[in-house]
Amino acid sequence: MTLLPFLPDDLSPGDQRFRSLDFSRVCAQRIASLEDPLLRRGYDRLWQEFGHQGEMETLEVIVSRLRWFPAAQIQGRWLRYDLVVMTSGEDLVGVADHVAIASETPSGPRVVVHQSHIVVEPAWRRRGVAAWMRSMPLQTGRACLEAAGLPLHSPVTLVAEVEHPDPKDEAKTLRLCSFQRAGFLKVDPRFVDYQQPDFRPFSDIDAEGRIHPLPLALVLRRVGRESESSVTSEELRQTVECLYNIYGQSCRAQDMEGLWEQTARLSQGPGRIPLIPPTGQTFDCP
């Protein structure tokens, strides 16, 4: 078991209101062992929340990522996976997982942290737990930079994949509002058609004879640059490449080919791509 500290300065600008919350009864643990009983408990909770939507990888994939610790050099980048389980006594409070990808780019070293999944138990919602769990990927990003031998002050981008807005889906709206209140911004889907790879078993894909990538949107927190209302197409291309580098470790090359081609075309788009509120609206979220 590895306990993680609660670092107020890592909270996003919109989550700073939660920095003084009393978390003396709560602890956040990084799953450091394949034998840790919290591994299966945390994974099962994520699968319960996201598996039926095709947004969660298999336990086998998650176990393989845990072996990247402290970071694995893969295809010219350094990757580190962390699964964090938050508890209060014996009670589960929340679960999150994320992958950091550190690399040297033409503009210098940087780290992208993919905030894969977050789920907070109903009894703990609207109490700041999600805010703190959104901050913990920064610790993973710095640890990845350190393992890669790159400067700890290198630029950091947090990125999450989110569903497109649906006014009829209250749970979806609440998730988008949570990111919006925190200060994350969404890559305008009118300019970028982002898709998550098909996570189905290979046998299912082969039986149907086609893949079904999942259409999603990207929300970003570019740490220290949260107020910027656009991102260069080149920076976005590098960010998406980092995500597909992760997925490429468990998805087949032929199933990723079209996604890579689409990513390459980002460099041919506008010089800057607008960043908009995650809900697509400027109203204040409840």
The token duo for 138 is 């920064």
Residue type at position 197:
P
**281 is a domain residue:** no
Is 286 domain-assigned?
no
Helix pair 37-50, 59-66: axis angle to 10 deg: 130
pLDDT at 55: 87
Helix (H) or strand (E) holding 40, with range, is helix 37-50
User: Which domain range does residue 167 map to?
Assistant: 2-275
Count of structural domains, the chain: 1
Do 71 and 103 form a contact (C-beta atoms < 8 A)? no
Contacts of 281 by beta carbon, 8 Å cutoff, 6+ apart: none
Mean pLDDT of the chain: 93
Question: How would residue 282 be classed by pLDDT, with cut points 50, 70 and 90?
Answer: low
Which residue, 134, 277, 274, 160, is CA-closest to 217?
Answer: 160
Q: Taking the model in full, what pTM does it have?
A: 0.94
For residue 280, being part of any structural domain is answered with no
Which residue in this structure is represented by tokens 């907070």?
120
User: Is 8 among the domain residues?
Assistant: yes
CA angle 240, 243, 245 (to 5 degrees): 110
pLDDT tens-place string over residues 178-216: 999 999 999 999 999 999 999 999 999 999 999 999 999
Say how many Å lie between the first and final Cα of the chain, rounded. 36
pLDDT tens string 31-66: 988 899 999 999 999 999 999 888 899 999 999 999
Residue 172 domain flag: yes
Task: Kindly report, residue by residue over 97-108, the tens digit of the pLDDT.
Answer: 999 999 999 889
Residue 159: inside a domain, yes or no? yes
Residue 90 lies inside a defined structural domain of this protein: yes
Cis peptide before 70 (omega within 30 of 0): yes
CATH number, position 127: 3.40.630.30
Q: CA 118 to CA 56: how far, in whole Å? A: 11
| Domain membership flag for residue 59 | yes
Does residue 84 contact residue 96 with C-beta atoms inside 8 Å?
A: yes
Q: What is the pLDDT of residue 281?
A: 77
